[in-house]
Amino acid sequence: MAHRWGMVIDLDRCTGCEACVVACRAENNIATVGEEQAGLSRAKHWIRVERYYEGEFPDVKVKFQPVLCQQCDAAPCETVCPTFASYHTGEGLNGQIYNRCIGTRYCANACPYEVRFFNFFNPVWDKPLHLQLNPDVSVRTVGVMEKCTFCVQRIKAGEIQAEAEKRELKDGEIRPACVQSCPPEAMVFGDLNDAESRASRLANSRRRTKLLAELGTRPKVTYLQRDSWHGDENA
Amino acid sequence: MATKTPEQINDDLLRPLSGISGRYALSAALLAGVAVAAFCAFFYQAYTGLGVSGLRWPVFWGFYITNFVFWIGLSHAGTLISAILRLSNATWRRPVTRCAEVITVFALSIGAMFPIIHLGRPWLAFWLFPYPSERRIWPNIHSPLLWDFFAINTYLIASVTFLLLPIIPDMALVRDRAAGLRKKIYRALALGWTGTPKQWHRLETAMHVMAIVVIPVAVSVHSIVSWDFAMAPVPMWHSTIFAPYFVCGAIFSGIAALLLAMALLRKFLHLEEYLLPIHFENLGKLLLVMSVLWFYFIFAERLTTWYGNSVGEMPVFWATQHGSYAPLFWTMMFCNFLIPVPILAIRKLRSITGTAIASFTIVIGMWLERFLIIVPSLSHKYLTYSWGTYRPTWVEITITAGTFSGLALLYMIFSKVVPIISIWELKVGLRQVPHSARIIVEPKEVGAD
Amino acid sequence: MPIPPAIYGLFPDPDSAERGMNALNRAGISPRRIVVMSAEPFDGYSFTQMDERTPMPWLAPMGGLVGGILGFLLARLTQEAYPYPLITGGMPLLAAWPTGIITYECTMLGAVLATVATLLISTKLPNWKPKLYDPEVSHGKILIGVLDPSDAARPEIENRLRGAGAEKVKIIGVSPAS
Amino acid sequence: MQRRDFLKISAVAGATAALEGCGNPDHQLIRFVPEEDLIPGIATWKPSICTLCPAGCGLLVRVMQGEAEVVREGRLGLLKMGLAKKLEGNPAHPINQGKLCPRGQAGLQVTYHPDRIQGPLARVGPRGSGQFREMTWESATRQLASQLADLQESGQEGSLALITSPLRGQKRAILDAFANHFKKSLPVELAFFDDSTIRAANLASFGHALPLTLDLGQSNYVVSFGADFLGTWNSPVAQAIGFGRMRTGRPGERAKFVQFEQRISQTGASADEWIPVQPGTEGAVALGLAHVMLAENLRPAAGAGHAGLLLEGWSEGLPDYAPEKIAAQTGVKAETIVRIAREAAAHDPAVAILGGAAAAHTNGLVGALAANALNALLGSVGKPGGILFPPLLAAKESGISLEILASQINSRAAAAKVLLVYNADPVFSAPAAWGVRAALDKIPFIASFSSFLDETTMLADLILPDHSPLESWLDDAPPSGSARTIRSVAPPAMHPLHNTRSMPDVLLDLAHQLGGDLASTLPWKTYDEAIEASFAALYKEKGTKIAKDADEFWQKAQDQGGWWSTEPESVPASPAGAPSGVVKPRAPEFAGDPNDYPFHFLPFASQLLYDGSLAHLPWMQEAPDPLSTVMWGTWVEVNPRTARKLSLQPGDLVEVTSPHGKLEAPALVNPGIAPDVIAMPVGQGHQNFTRYASGRGANPISILSPLTVEGTQSLAWAATRVKLSVVGRGKLILFGGSLTEVSPELEHR
C-alpha cells in the first residue's frame, strides 16, 4: 500500500520556540526577503508559529499553533490551478511543481490556511550565503508559488535508501526538518496508512482536532489540543 | 420639422470619418501617452517581478483582478444589451447598438489582458491554452481560470462577429464614397458587399441567430468570472449568489458605460439628432431597474451573511461595513444606489446630463464593488494571524489608468474608422417606425447648432 | 473585363423598384438572371423576396452540436492524456461539472462559427470582385438589372426599366461591335 | 603520475578552458586542487558544538561538496570543498539529544556571512573610523607580540586586559593561562544574560557554583519565577525536551507548570497558570510558598537543611511571609499562594526555578536563595525531577566584572595598555552608564578576535579574525543541561573560507613568540593539541573502560562529538549543617523615582537575537518573534490600558527615558504585560554589526542604570525605571495579523 504521509502536532508540547521555522528555512532554501519586502508582508515562512492572546491582563493566556501546509486530501489549492502546478502526489502530498507554475496565485487565494508563498522577486543570497543552499532542493525563481512539501526530498531519500537496502521503511525514519528540530518533540511525522505508526496512533488521540475542519479540506495534519492540568482532580 | 433623407444620414454619420481635428489629435496623443506608460509599467513589472505591484501575502489579487472583473463586467454593455434589444425588436435600439457592441469588444479585450498582466510569469501565459505540447501537460479543466479562458474566448469571438457583421454594409457605403488609399482599404473591409437581397437576408438571419446565441454566452461569461471567486473557500466568496450577482452587476455597469459613451459621442461627434433624449430616457429606466436589482442582490448577500453570523465571514463583513474598508464600501453604496436612483427615478432629472452623471458614479461604484469583493475577503481569511492589508503601487495605478485611456483611445480610433451608428439599420428603422417617432430635427436643437 | 454584360436600372425608391421588378417579371426574364442591389434591406417588397430559403437556423445548432462534442472530447481526452493518474483536490479527474462548462462554451462557439461560416459561404463573401455593382447603390438607389441579356431582349428590358421609373439605365460589358 | 598531480593538471586545463569559454568573471577564477575527497551529492554528517549561547549543545553538521570562492596563499580561486549545509542537533549528545533551537540552527550563517572579516586587519584611519588595511598573519601576530613584549619589558604586565565571553574547556584554559601570566588574574567575562547570580546562590545554598540543571521530564509540578527556560534561559533545548516529556510524554501524567512574571514570556505562554507578580518580589513569593508548606506542615522545616537555614526566619517558619502579609507587596492573592503551595507539595517531584529578570533585581541573589530553599524544602535537590548538579570537570571562577574594569580604567585606578577582546562586544552589551566607551578610548592598543566589525571591533587597532565555529576545533564542558558529565570536542566541520585563524591558535603562537614562562605553561603548538592533551588526562580518569588507549578514546570522542558519562552523575548538595550567617531578604531597589519614572523597564532576551550577538544573521532577523511577530526590528511592549492612558496607538514611536539615557522605538500593545511595566527585547540597536543589523532599532542595554545585584558583580538589569512619551509614528514590521484568534472586528456588534 502506498504511503500516506501525515503529521501530528501536539499543542500541549509546542513552546513556540520557532526552531521549526528556522529549520524549514535552512532545509528548503527559503530566501530571506529583507526588511523592505518583509514590511510589505512578503516574507516567506513555509511554517509559522501562530500566536493568539486570550483574555485581558491579568487573566491572559497565550497559545501557539504552528501552521504549515496541511497537505489536504481535498485541497482547494489543487483544483484551481490551471496548469497542474499544484497537484496531488501518489503519496497524498499537495505537490507544487515550480516549473509548471505560471503565477496566477489562485492556489494561495484558495488556501484557507495561507501557507502558500509567492516569489515576488528572484531570491537573493548575498555571497557567500549562497553556499548554505541545500543541493537537494530547487531554488524557486521569480513568479512562482512555493510551499511546504513535508520535506519531500527527505521522504524520497528515505524511500530510496530503504529500497536500496531492500527493506521496509521504519516508522520515524523519515522526519521533515521541522519535526527533526523540534525540541519538545511536539511534531510527529509518519505514514497514516500504517495504523501502527506513531503518527497514526496520535492522530486518534482524544485531543485531536483538524485546523478549519469545517471547510472540508480533510487535512493530513492533526493538532492535539492543549490539555489542561488534571492534577487538582487527583489531589 | 423635416425628416432626414438617407443621403443626409449618410453625410451626418460619415462626417466623423474624415479629417482629424487638433483637439482629436491632442486627446488621442494624451490617451496614447497614458496607454504607453501602462505598457512600460507592465514590461517593467514583467522584467523585475510582480513585487513592484502592491500585492502581498495574503492579498494575492488586487487591482489587476479588480480591473479584470470590472472590464469583463463592462463588456456586458454591448453585445448582451444589443442582443436583447434586437430580439425584443425594440425599435429605438438602432442608433445605440453599435456603440454598445464596440464597448463590448474593447472592454473584453482589455479585460482579457489582465489575467496575463497579473501573472507571476506572464511569458508563460500560453500554458493556459489547451494545445498539445512536448511537456505532455494539458491545462486543468477543474480550474475556473480555464473556464474563463473558454468563456472569454467564446464571448470575444461572438462579440467581434456580432459587431463586425452589421459593419460590412456600412463599409461598402464608405467604400463607395471614398477615394484613393482609403477606398482600397474600405474595399477590402467591405468584403465585396453589394447589397443583394440574398446578402441582406442572410445577414439579418445571422444577426438573429447570433443574438440568440450571444445572450447565454454573455450570462455564462460573467457567471464564470464570478466562479473564479465562488469556487474558492474564501469568506464571502464561496456563495451561490455570486453568479447572478455578478451578471446583474455586469449589466448594470455595462449600461452605465454605454450611457456615458453615448453622452460623450453625442457631444463630440455632434450626433444630437441621432442619439435622442428618448434613448437616454429608455436606457436610464433600464439603468434604474438594474440599480435597484443590484441593491437587491447586495442586500440579499449582506443580509444572509449577517444572519448566518459565520465566524469566517463576519470579519470580512465588518471590515467592509465599518472597518478599514468601510469608506470605500459606503462610497460604493452612494455611487451605485443612493445617487443614481433619485436621478433616474425622477423624470425631470432623467435628462441626458442626469443619466450621464448617474452613469459616471455607477462606473466608479462598480469598480469599487469589484475591489471590495476581492480585497477585504483575501485580507480577512479564517486564521486571524494571517490577516493582512493591501495598498496598490504606481505600477498598478498606471496600468489601471492605461486601460481606461486605452479604451477611450480605441473608441476614438474606432469612431474615426467606422460609423459609430449603424447606418443601414438606422435607415431601415426610419421606414419602419411610425412617423411620429421618426428621427426628426427638432427646431430647438437645430437652433443650438 | 470581369464585369459580365449586364443591363440595369437605378431606381430612386422601393416603389419604383417594385414596378421595375414586376416589369421584368412580365417580360419573362428568368428570375435567376435578375439582379437586385440596395443600400438597405427592403422587407415586404416583392423585389427582395428571393433566396429566402437558408439552412442557417439549422446549421447553427448543428455547429453547436459539433462544437459541444469537440469541447467535451477536449475536456475529457486531455485530462486522460497524462502518463500517470492525476487526482486533484480530492476531485476525480473526469468531473461532470467542469466538463459541462467547457462543453457548453464550445457548443456556443460552434454555433457562432457555424453561423458566420454559413453567412460567408452562402453569400459568397468575401468576394472583392463582384460581377456587377454600381456605387450609386450606396447613395440610396436601388439597382435592378439582368445579367447576360440576349441582344434581342436588351432594348425591351431597357424600355421596361425606364417605364417602371428607373432614373438611369446602364448597359455594361457589351462591346459596340456585337 | 600520482592521482593528485593528475588532478592538478586537469584542474588547470579546465580552468583555462573555462577562461576562454566564458565571460562570466566567476569562471575566470582559478580552480584549486580539492583538499579533500568528497562524493558530489552525498551528505556526510560531522559532529560540532554550538557556541552561540552558554548551553553548549552538540551539533551534527551536514556537509556536502560545493564550490566556494576562497583565498589560498593570497590568491582568490574556486575550490571544490566540503561545505556545511545544515546544522542539526547531535542525537548522541546528552544535552540537546538531536534537537536544536532556532539560534543554533542559524549558526550556519555565521560561517557564510557576507560581512565576515576575511583576514587580519590593522587600523589606518582614526579610531572608530572603520578604516583598516589588510595584512598578513605573520605581521599581525608580530605586531601583537611586540605590544605584549613591551608590557613585559616595561614591567607593566598588569596593564593587559582581556574581555571574553564566558568560555569553558581548553579554550578557557589557554586564555586563563595567558591572563594569569600577565595580570595574575582571570579575564573579564562578559555576557549580558550571565548566570553568575544563580551560580553564587547555588554556591551558598548547595556548595556548587553551577547553574541549575533541570530534569523537567520527570517533574510533576513546576513553579518558575521569571525564568524563560523554554526560550533563552540556561539550557533551553534540554529544558524544552524535558518540558515536552513533562507535558505528554508520560501517559496519564501531566505536570502543572506555574509561571510568575511581569510579562508573558515565550515560556510563560506555555504555562498552565500564569500569575503576574510585582518586579523583584519573586523571592518573596517563593518564601510565601515555603511559609504555607511550613505552616501547614506539608514539609518539615529541617528538610531544607543548609539552604533553608541560610535565610533569616526560616526556623521560625518565615513569619514575615504569610501569604496575606505579602499579597499587597507581590500583587499575588493570598489564596493563590496557598493553593499553589498545597498543589506543589502534593505533587512530587515539584521544582522551583528562578532566573531571568527575577534574578536581575538588586535583591536577585536573595530571590535565588529563596527559590533554592523552596527546592530544598520540596526535597527536589539532587533528585530526579528536581534540580541536579553534574560533577564539573573544572571549577569555574570569574574575574572582575566589566563595570569594575571600566571604572578602574576611567578613574585611573588601573592602567590598561593593551586590550584583547574575544567573542564579546563590551560597547554594545554594557549600559552607557558604565563608561565602557570612555574606558576603551583610554586604552592605547586594542586587539579584537572578532569575525565581524561590531561596535567594539570598530575601535580595534588590530583585528585577528577567528575562524567561524564550524571551521575550527572546538571543545566544551557544559555545566548544565544534563546530569551527565560532558566533555564535548569537535574537529573542524569544514575548511576555512577566509584567511582566518582560530583564537587559541593565535594565543599559542603568541606564547611561543614571547617565550619564557608563558611558553612552558602553554606547551602545545595548536589548540587541537591542547584538547587532545586534556582528553588524554580524561582517558586516565574516566575512559579506560571505553577505549583501549588514549588515542582510541580521543578518536572516539571526535567521532561522537565528545565524551560523556553513560549515567547521570548528579552530585549531592553540600555543605550540610548550619550556615555561618543568615541572609536577610529585602525589598528590591529601583533606579529612578516612581513619580518621575512611572514604569518598570524590563529588557528581555530575544528568542532569536539572544543578547544581540545574533543580530547579524538574516535568518534571525527575518524570523518572526514568537510573541510579537516582529521581524527586522525592535519594539517596546505596553499594556493596552497603559496605551489607552497615554493615547498611544500600536506602531507609535515612543521615547523611553530612564535616569541614565533615552531611546526611541515603536510601541506594540501587548495584552500580556503588567500595566506598570514596559518591556523591550535586547538584540537590536547595533550601530555597527554588518549590513543586516547596523543602525536597526535601539539598544535597551544602553539606558539601564548601573545597579548591581547585591552580593554579586552582576548588573541588575531589571531594576531600572523609565517614563514613556509618544513622539511620532514608528515603523513596525509584523508577520502576524491579529493578536487574538476571534477577530476583534466581531466585537463591533
Same domain, yes or no: C86 and C117: yes
Q: Which three cell numbers stand for residue B63?
A: 487591482
Q: Quote the crossing angle between the two packed helices B352-379 and B242-268, to the nearest 10°.
A: 140
**Structural domain count, chain C:** 2
With b for 16 or more beta-carbon neighbours within 10 A and e for fewer, the D716-739 pattern comes to bbbbbbbbbebeeebebbbbbbbb
Among chain B residues, CA nearest to D739: B385
Q: What is the pLDDT of residue C160?
A: 85
Residue A88 distance to chain C (closest CA, Å): 6
Chain A, 45-74: which have a CB under 8 Å from a chain C CB?
A: 72-74
Largest Cα–Cα distance of chain A, in whole Å?
Answer: 61
**Which pTM was predicted?**
0.92
Q: Please, are residues A217 and B233 in contact by the beta-carbon 8 Å criterion?
A: yes
From the list C84, C86, C89, the residue facing A75 with the nearest CB is C89
Instruction: Please name each of the domains of chain D with its CATH number.
Output: 27-113+476-500+540-566 (no CATH), 121-191+397-466+503-523 (3.40.50.740), 211-388 (3.40.228.10), 599-746 (2.40.40.20)
Q: What is the pLDDT of residue D426?
A: 95
Instruction: Give B-chain residues touching A34 at CB under 8 angstroms.
Output: none
Same domain, yes or no: C88 and C144: no
pLDDT above 90: residue B10: no
HEC secondary structure over chain B: CCECCHHHHHHHHHHHHCCCCHHHHHHHHHHHHHHHHHHHHHHHHHHHCHHHCCCCCCCCCCHHHHHHHHHHHHHHHCHHHHHHHHHCCCHHHCCCHHHHHHHHHHHHHHHHHHHHHCCCCHHHHHHHCCCCCCCCCCCCCCCHHHHHHHHHHHHHHHHHHHHHCCHHHHHHHHHHHCCHHHHHHHHHHHCCCCCCHHHHHHHHHHHHHHHHHHHHHHHHHHHHHHHHHHCCCCCCCCCCCHHHHHHHHHHHHHHHHHHHHHHHHHHHCCCCCCCCHHHHHHHHHHHHHHHHHHHHHHHHHHHHHHHHCCCCCHHHHHHHHCCCCHHHHHHHHHHHHHCHHHHHHCCCCCCHHHHHHHHHHHHHHHHHHHHHHHHHHHHCCCCHHHCCCCCCCHHHHHHHHHHHHHHHHHHHHHHHHCCCCCHHHHHHHHHHCCHHHCCECCHHHHHHC
Residues in chain C predicted with pLDDT less than 50, given as ranges, are: 1-2, 175-178
Q: Which three cell numbers stand for residue D363?
A: 535583591
Mean pLDDT confidence for A209-224 = 94
pLDDT above 90: residue D749: no
pLDDT above 70: residue D746: no
CB contact under 8 Å between A101 and B378, yes or no, is: no
- Per the domain annotation, does C106 fall within a domain? yes
CB atoms within 10 A of CB D16: 12
Among C82, C99, C122, residue at a domain's last position: C122
CB contact under 8 Å between A83 and B137, yes or no, is: yes
Among C88, C103, C122, residue at a domain's last position: C122
Contact present, D and C (at least 3 Cβ pairs less than 8 Å)? no
Please tell me if residue D737 touches chain B, with a CB cutoff of 8 Å.
yes
Residues 6+ apart with CB under 8 A from D558: D47, D489, D490, D491
pLDDT above 80: residue B434: no
Counting residues of chain B whose pLDDT is more than 70, the rounded percentage is 95
Lowest average pLDDT, out of A111-120, B69-78, B130-139, B438-447, goes to B438-447
3-class DSSP assignment, residue D286:
helix
pLDDT in tens, D423-462: 999 999 999 999 999 999 999 999 999 999 999 999 999 9
Q: Choose from B55, B57, B229, B377 for mutation: most chain A CBs within 10 A.
A: B57
Q: What are phi and psi of C74, to 5 degrees?
A: -60, -50
Counting residues of chain C whose pLDDT is more than 90, the rounded percentage is 21
Residue C93 distance to chain A (closest CA, Å): 10
Q: What is the pLDDT of residue D562?
A: 94
Q: Which three cell numbers stand for residue D107?
A: 549558526
pLDDT in tens, D462-520: 999 999 999 999 999 999 999 898 999 999 999 999 999 999 999 999 999 988 888 88
Residue C69 distance to chain A (closest CA, Å): 22
Q: Which residue has the cell 512562482?
A: A144
List, as one string, the DSSP characters of chain A. Answer: ----EEEEEETTT-----HHHHHHHHHTTPPP-HHHHHHTT----SSEEEEEEES-TTS-EEEEEEE-----SS-HHHHH-TTSSEEE-TTS-EEE-GGG-----HHHHH-TT--EEE-SS-----TTGGGG--TTSPPP-TT-EEE--S-HHHHHHHHHHHHHTTSPPPTTS---HHHHH-TT--EEEEETTSTTSHHHHHTTSTTEE-TTGGG----SEEEEPPP---HHHH-
Q: Choose from D42, D52, D99, D109 for mutation: most chain A CBs within 10 A.
A: D99
Lowest average pLDDT, out of D80-94, D174-188, D457-471, goes to D174-188
**How many residues appear in chain A?**
235
Residue B44 distance to chain D (closest CA, Å): 25
Same domain, yes or no: C165 and C133: yes
3-class DSSP assignment, residue D704:
coil
Contact present, B and D (at least 3 Cβ pairs less than 8 Å)? yes
CB contact under 8 Å between C83 and B140, yes or no, is: no
- Per the domain annotation, does C20 fall within a domain? yes
Instruction: Give A-chain residues touching C90 at CB under 8 angstroms.
Output: 72-75, 88, 218
Q: What is the pLDDT of residue D3?
A: 46
| Cα–Cα distances in angstroms (integers) from residue D580 to residues D204, D367, D575, in the given order | 11, 19, 11
From the list A27, A55, A60, the residue facing D86 with the nearest CB is A27
pLDDT in tens, B266-275: 988 888 888 8
Q: Please, are residues B208 and A86 in contact by the beta-carbon 8 Å criterion?
A: no
Instruction: Give B-chain residues touching A215 at CB under 8 angstroms.
Output: 233, 382
Mean pLDDT confidence for D540-560 = 91
CB contact under 8 Å between B138 and C113, yes or no, is: no
Same domain, yes or no: C48 and C96: no
CB contact under 8 Å between A73 and C91, yes or no, is: no
Mean pLDDT confidence for B431-449 = 45
Mean pLDDT confidence for D624-635 = 95
Same domain, yes or no: C39 and C16: yes
CB contact under 8 Å between B314 and D737, yes or no, is: no
Same domain, yes or no: C39 and C18: yes
- Per the domain annotation, does C1 fall within a domain? no
* Domain extent for C68: 57-122
* Radius of gyration of chain A, Cα coordinates, nearest whole angstrom: 18
Reported ipTM: 0.91
Instruction: Please name each of the domains of chain A with its CATH number.
Output: 5-224 (3.30.70.20)
Q: What is the pLDDT of residue C53?
A: 80
Instruction: Give B-chain residues touching C47 at CB under 8 angstroms.
Output: 197
Instruction: Give A-chain residues touching C84 at CB under 8 angstroms.
Output: 90
Chains that touch D (3 or more CB pairs under 8 A): A, B
CB contact under 8 Å between B319 and D745, yes or no, is: yes
pLDDT in tens, C79-91: 877 767 777 777 7
3-class DSSP assignment, residue D361:
coil
Please tell me if residue A81 touches chain B, with a CB cutoff of 8 Å.
yes
CB atoms within 10 A of CB B135: 10
pLDDT in tens, D5-32: 444 444 444 444 444 444 455 556 788 8
Q: What is the pLDDT of residue D77?
A: 87
- Per the domain annotation, does C152 fall within a domain? yes
Same domain, yes or no: C47 and C61: no
The span from the CA of D127 to the CA of D457, in Å, is 10
Q: What is the pLDDT of residue D396?
A: 64
CB contact under 8 Å between B125 and A102, yes or no, is: yes
Same domain, yes or no: C133 and C155: yes
Instruction: Give C-chain residues touching B130 at CB under 8 angstroms.
Output: 74, 78
CB atoms within 10 A of CB C132: 22
Among chain B residues, CA nearest to A39: B56
From the list C87, C90, C91, the residue facing A218 with the nearest CB is C90
pLDDT in tens, D220-276: 999 999 999 999 999 999 999 999 999 999 988 899 999 999 999 999 999 999 999
Q: What is the pLDDT of residue B433?
A: 54
Q: What is the pLDDT of residue B133?
A: 80
Chain A, 76-95: which have a CB under 8 Å from a chain C CB?
A: 76-81, 84, 86-88, 90
* Radius of gyration of chain D, Cα coordinates, nearest whole angstrom: 27
pLDDT in tens, D38-59: 888 889 999 999 999 999 999 9
CB atoms within 10 A of CB C81: 11
pLDDT in tens, A102-140: 999 999 999 999 999 999 999 999 989 999 999 999 999
CB contact under 8 Å between A19 and D633, yes or no, is: no
CATH number reported for the structural domain that contains residue C16 in this entry: 3.30.70
The span from the CA of B7 to the CA of A232, in Å, is 101
Instruction: Give C-chain residues touching B146 at CB under 8 angstroms.
Output: 98, 102
CB contact under 8 Å between B147 and C101, yes or no, is: yes
Residues 6+ apart with CB under 8 A from A2: A90, A91, A92, A193
From the list B10, B141, B213, the residue facing C102 with the nearest CB is B141
Same domain, yes or no: C76 and C109: yes
- Per the domain annotation, does C178 fall within a domain? no
